[in-house]
Structure 1
Amino acid sequence: MPRVFNKSCSNTCRYRKIKCDQAQPICGQCSRIGRYCDRAKRAPKVRQELRHSAEQADDSSKDCGGAATPVTSPRDALQSSRTADFFQHYIAELAPWYDLSDGRRHFAVQVPILALDEALLFNALMALSAMHLARTSMPSARPAAESYHGMCIHALIGLTESDSRLLENGIALAATCLLRSYEILSEDADPNRHLQGAYSLASQPHRGFGHDHASTGSLLLQGFWNYLREDITFSLFGECPLKIDLAAVFVPPSATGTDHDHLNNMSVVLGSIINGLFGRNATSSDTSWTTWIGALRGWIQQVAGTVYPFSRAAGKAVASDLPSVRVLQDCHASAWHYFLVALCVLSSRAPAQKRQADIIELASSYQPHFSECKGREEFLEAAAMEICGIAFTSNSPAVIVNAFGPISFCARFIHDKAVQEDIIRHLFACQKRTGWPVQRIVGRLEAHWKAELGHR
């Protein structure tokens, strides 16, 4: 008798032909051994994709936009000029997205080296690179991107306990972080689904690092910080808790002695605030509030003077009142983004005027002009304009991609029509450069601005 297809079962368990307990966001089988838990609406048709790739990958497709040949040896595959172009494009254009809080640049340096011998990581890297090119300058690269993506999914859900090396050295988690970006660029119906699947890879402290782990330079740790930032982005989009419970997992130390630590540490603070204030179990107790305000105050007291903006001089062609805010490094920009959006989340949920005063006091520690804000509405608009100003002045794809979450959450508080229009123009300009489909962000902002206008 044929087995009934159960939509609640994870594709990983279905592929491995084992019983699934259907737990969300990761099933018990995958959680127990740290396996990737795939939650696609239907299992990827990998075998058909591979056959199609092999049939289409002739000599002519190697140097144009055809499907990719199934990869057995990344080094051999790179003898194709088209493949080499994709690989180089990742290193030059995309790796900085993932090295935002990593001065050692593991995703730019270590990931390409490992990808030369690890097909899983190679396919993830190539899928993202080809899709980015397809979205920005080379539409013909999409078939290759989809083919690499299919091979990557096939490898991820086929990981076994004997593949523990890929889990412990961070290769599987790094591949999943790249995969998540691919699915955003491809305008996947649910680009968040592989962020759910990666939960098992990011939340197991016994696999690769623990409380006694002295080095914060490993790929696994950098994968963790990337996972957390990606989780924050989607939580800000949906105003929902993180998938990772920061109180239940060991958060690796960030003490490299560099400015990148500020972004990592603020990521933890923001994540804790999101988990506390978004969702059905939201709380705004005095104890929680004191903890959050204390964490933000402690963070900003440790920030060196060189992390603050070095110039606020307006550009020659300013279309609105959006500020021009320049900082020395990309990690500085993103750290201030997270600090300001943390204050915005608190402000939007704070019931008492005393708490608004605490927020404005903290914001004034960053820039004195925030002290002029009279109440919640003025503060939220000023903070939102600051966030947008930092992002658009940076002109850095890494900063902008990481800023889409904060912008999506905060820009709705802006009431000035000229500024709203300027933000929309900037977002569409960013789409051309980053490949990110910003239509959803724009649609949400326009709907909110329209609703707010109706209430005024």
Structure 2
Amino acid sequence: MKEASLFRHYIEDLARWFDVCNPHRPFAYAVPRLAASSPLLRKAILAHSAHHISRTTGSDPSLPFQYLEECLALLIPELKNEQVMGVENSALIATIFLRSFGEFEDIASGEFHISGTSLFIQSGGGCESLRRSNKLRNAAYWIHLRQEVGYSVVEQRNIRANLNICPFDASADASSDAGWCNRVVWICVQVLRWAFGDNSTVERHNELTDMIEDWENRRPQTFEAMMDLRGPFDSDVWDKEVWFTNDEHIDALQYLLIAKLILSLHNPHLPRLGLRAQTAYSNSKAMNQFYVRTMCVAAKCSSFVPAKFMACNVLFATGGCFHLKADQENVVDFLRSCERDHGYATKAHVEALENIWAANYQ
């Protein structure tokens, strides 16, 4: 009965997090079927589900770690194969769940059981072999990229993924909202690679800026908010409403704003000295804060929980830049609500931000 309840919680509540932008919904349908014949994958699902319930209800905190240990005992032998194409689907999907498990503990405390997803960093297999493999591997790759964005933002490090094995086809995916959402995720990944990688040239910054502008100009109208009560660059935006139609639309907004934020923070065109530099810095800071506020407000108004987690990650990295008391109070309220209602670890980050703000007032 206990394991059946945990499995049901995964299917009804958690699978949605992983199936965003995938009309086939493999995490809701294919993964449970695969888990029926895979003790490894079943333990990973039970660990993730029990962990989420424990963190949101205060139930037995030892149970998820029991499932985690049992899962790792089965997983480690599977990961001896260093090529992504040689690893069983069940092992590959299990590593996605275990990495999500670690994010709930604290995304900034170090990456947690990611040896499996690190297979996506390897060069083996190549784009066409991954593309031909199956929908589960493609789905796992896209979740890996989304997880990498969170780590990259928090740790300010390069994306750890082999972008040459990406199954993304811009021309083929342009006909659906899911395809347009994945496209902006792909652009965001490219932006983070530019910012924290070895090709941080002005020319590449310009190319990425053009890619974002092109995406915004050509995206379907369905990506527009169905209701948006914000004013332009409104600092008093925290209590406003921003509603989107579907999960992929709020998901796309988060990655779009992260891409814009990173390009702005690393803008090579900003003047460095004199009054022009001060004005440019002030304008850039206002714009960046507006991006972050918008991420939080849109996430708060959405039932798509991963949007809230990604907004938390951005606040972990940028929250110290808010100097208005109202902003700081809303940042704390948002972070605490994500831990209280959804189990995402934010307490240590709230304390760190409060220390930063206190130091700024001294």
TM-score, length basis structure 1: 0.68
The answer to whether the Cα contact below 8 Å between 1:330 and 1:398 also exists between their aligned partners in 2 is no
Match of 1:272 in 2: 190
Amino acid at match of 2:98: L
Match of 2:91 in 1: 172
The answer to whether the Cα contact below 8 Å between 1:86 and 1:130 also exists between their aligned partners in 2 is yes
Q: Identity rate of aligned residues, in percent?
A: 24
Match of 2:139 in 1: 222
Match of 1:302 in 2: 218
Between 266-275 and 397-406, the greater mean CA deviation after superposition: 397-406
- Map 1:50-449; keep pairs closer than 5 Å: 81-140=1-60, 142-159=61-78, 167=86, 170-186=89-105, 190-201=109-120, 203-204=122-123, 206=125, 210=128, 213=131, 218-246=135-163, 249-254=164-169, 255-256=172-173, 257-278=175-196, 281=198, 283=200, 285-313=201-229, 321-322=237-238, 323-353=240-270, 375-449=283-357
Amino acid at match of 2:96: C
> Structure 1, residues 249-277: CA drift from partner, whole Å, max 9, x if none?
32212544321222322222111221221
Q: How far does residue 97 in structure 1 lie from its aligned partner after superposition?
A: 1.4
> Structure 1, residues 63-98: CA drift from partner, whole Å, max 9, x if none?
xxxxxxxxxxxxxxxxxx011111111111211111
The answer to whether the Cα contact below 8 Å between 1:167 and 1:173 also exists between their aligned partners in 2 is no
Report the Cα distance in structure 2 between the residues aligned to 1:425 and 1:166, rounded to whole angstroms: 44
| Between structures 1 and 2, the one with greater helix share | 2
Amino acid at match of 1:401: F
Q: How far does residue 398 in structure 1 lie from its aligned partner after superposition?
A: 3.0
The answer to whether the Cα contact below 8 Å between 2:335 and 2:346 also exists between their aligned partners in 1 is yes
Report the Cα distance in structure 2 between the residues aligned to 1:241 and 1:421, rounded to whole angstroms: 31
The answer to whether the Cα contact below 8 Å between 1:324 and 1:390 also exists between their aligned partners in 2 is yes
Amino acid at match of 1:229: R
Consecutive unaligned residues of structure 2, counting only runs of 5 or more, are: 273-280
Report the Cα distance in structure 2 between the residues aligned to 1:188 and 1:296, rounded to whole angstroms: 27
RMSD of the TM alignment (CA)? Answer: 3.1
Change (3 A) 1:407 1:189: closer
Find the residue that maps to 1:108 and give its secondary structure.
coil
Report the Cα distance in structure 2 between the residues aligned to 1:223 and 1:199, rounded to whole angstroms: 12
Between 258-267 and 400-409, the greater mean CA deviation after superposition: 400-409
The answer to whether the Cα contact below 8 Å between 1:127 and 1:149 also exists between their aligned partners in 2 is yes
Q: How far does residue 412 in structure 1 lie from its aligned partner after superposition?
A: 3.7
Q: How far does residue 447 in structure 1 lie from its aligned partner after superposition?
A: 3.9
Report the Cα distance in structure 1 between the residues aligned to 2:312 and 2:54, rounded to whole angstroms: 21
Q: How far does residue 196 in structure 1 lie from its aligned partner after superposition?
A: 4.9
Amino acid at match of 1:267: V
Q: How many residues align?
A: 346
Report the Cα distance in structure 1 between the residues aligned to 2:89 and 2:182, rounded to whole angstroms: 18
Change (3 A) 1:148 1:138: same
Report the Cα distance in structure 2 between the residues aligned to 1:191 and 1:94, rounded to whole angstroms: 23
Q: How far does residue 237 in structure 1 lie from its aligned partner after superposition?
A: 0.6
Consecutive unaligned residues of structure 1, counting only runs of 5 or more, are: 1-80, 356-372
Q: How far does residue 236 in structure 1 lie from its aligned partner after superposition?
A: 0.6
Find the residue that maps to 1:269 and give its secondary structure.
helix
Larger radius of gyration: 1
Report the Cα distance in structure 1 between the residues aligned to 2:80 and 2:196, rounded to whole angstroms: 35
